[in-house]
Chain A
């Protein structure tokens, strides 16, 4: 009886961890001070611009067995990649696992250019991802949530709700239930990935969404998901779906 009651209470508290209503969602940028927001919005002050220059050079560099550049096949990045990042991660229609933008770019590297994949979180991959993501600025995040994607989004959500680590916390406890409150010096954001890859002052560099997630997991004293692991991409997919319809502002700036 007692056990049933406890189980009942647990279920109730899970249900209480309600999703943020769509209209109340806010990007992390809205919670930053005016200085950082100005830095993000000014192309000549946003340090991510340095990576965009690298990305543009890489875009037209011929390499690999195929001796072709991204530009050889895709042409002008501002037109061919407009809106692409807003759709990622995508679910393979053949039922395979979701693929994020970094993996998609690496797929072109290996199959089209026939060159070795770029290391995840390497400067070159971040530069290319940043360049592609930049072409979706201002566009609404549009994750395909059709039947093929549903089970993967649900799996990502389960990871988001799962308590883990020595602190026995879930992502949702901070980002659904306690956003807007302070954790040390930082305001807890809702955790919407509208701006990745982004320039984080603490990193003094550009970093991916997965790097951010690893930071949160370390904070929870949980073992961070490896770069490119199935869990990391599922979580990315869920977070992007959770932010559906919100405008992209990559590459953003964060403290």
Chain B
């Protein structure tokens, strides 16, 4: 089971700029390395990351083989209303992990 660490401030003032940080465990195998048996190690990466705020997409990233293992992404958004900030990572071999956090805006 892939582990993910997310950091969203639990509360914010309306209109405040907040930083969101995410970290997920993943080998990000590039597909260019050769294993001990002389064969190419097949590519196994996260390809897409999407963040939604009460269902609306606010951030998306396409990941490439050049990105190191255990990708860390941080970005900013404006706190508008209380609700759920949801995260989804998808990738090769059916990789799919979802997480979410609640934020209170008042």
A contacts, CB < 8 Å to B: 42-45, 47, 49-50, 53-54, 201, 204-205
| A contacts with B: majority SS | loop
Residue of B nearest to A46 (CB): B23
Do A49 and B68 have beta carbons less than 8 Å apart? Answer: no
Q: B50 in the interface, Cβ–Cβ < 8 Å?
A: no
Do A205 and B5 have beta carbons less than 8 Å apart? Answer: no
Partner of A44, one of B3, B5, B27: B5
Do A49 and B69 have beta carbons less than 8 Å apart? Answer: no
Q: B25 in the interface, Cβ–Cβ < 8 Å?
A: yes
Residue of B nearest to A201 (CB): B68
List of A residues within 8 angstroms of B48 by Cβ: none
List of B residues within 8 angstroms of A43 by Cβ: 5
Complex Cα distance, B25 from A201, in Å, reads: 14
Residue of A nearest to B8 (CB): A44
Contact with A along B24-35 (1 / 0, CB 8 A): 110110000000
Complex Cα distance, B74 from A43, in Å, reads: 13
Query: Closest 3 CB pairs between A and B?
Result: A44-B7, A204-B69, A50-B25
Taking each of A43, A44, A45, which has the highest tally of chain B beta carbons within 10 Å of its own beta carbon? Answer: A44
**Residues of B in contact, count (CB < 8 Å):** 16
Do B3 and A45 have beta carbons less than 8 Å apart? Answer: no
Number of cross-chain contacts by CB at 8 Å: 35
Do B23 and A53 have beta carbons less than 8 Å apart? Answer: no
Complex Cα distance, B70 from A42, in Å, reads: 15
Q: B21 in the interface, Cβ–Cβ < 8 Å?
A: yes
List of B residues within 8 angstroms of A42 by Cβ: 21
Partner of B23, one of A45, A54, A204: A45
Do A204 and B72 have beta carbons less than 8 Å apart? Answer: no
Do B23 and A50 have beta carbons less than 8 Å apart? Answer: yes
Do A44 and B23 have beta carbons less than 8 Å apart? Answer: yes
Complex Cα distance, B28 from A244, in Å, reads: 38
List of B residues within 8 angstroms of A204 by Cβ: 27-28, 68-70
Contact with A along B72-84 (1 / 0, CB 8 A): 1010000000000
Do A50 and B3 have beta carbons less than 8 Å apart? Answer: yes
Interchain Cβ contacts under 8 Å between A and B, 11 examples? A42-B21, A44-B7, A44-B21, A44-B23, A45-B74, A47-B23, A49-B5, A50-B23, A53-B5, A201-B68, A205-B69
Given A53-B3, A54-B3, A47 contacting B70 (CB threshold 8 A): yes
List of A residues within 8 angstroms of B21 by Cβ: 42, 44-45
User: Whole-angstrom distance from the CB of A121 to the nearest CB of chain B?
Assistant: 16
Q: B6 in the interface, Cβ–Cβ < 8 Å?
A: yes
Do B72 and A45 have beta carbons less than 8 Å apart? Answer: yes
Partner of B6, one of A44, A47, A54: A44
Residue of A nearest to B6 (CB): A44
Complex Cα distance, B70 from A204, in Å, reads: 8
Contact with A along B19-52 (1 / 0, CB 8 A): 0010111011000000000000000000000000
User: Whole-angstrom distance from the CB of B87 to the nearest CB of chain A?
Assistant: 13
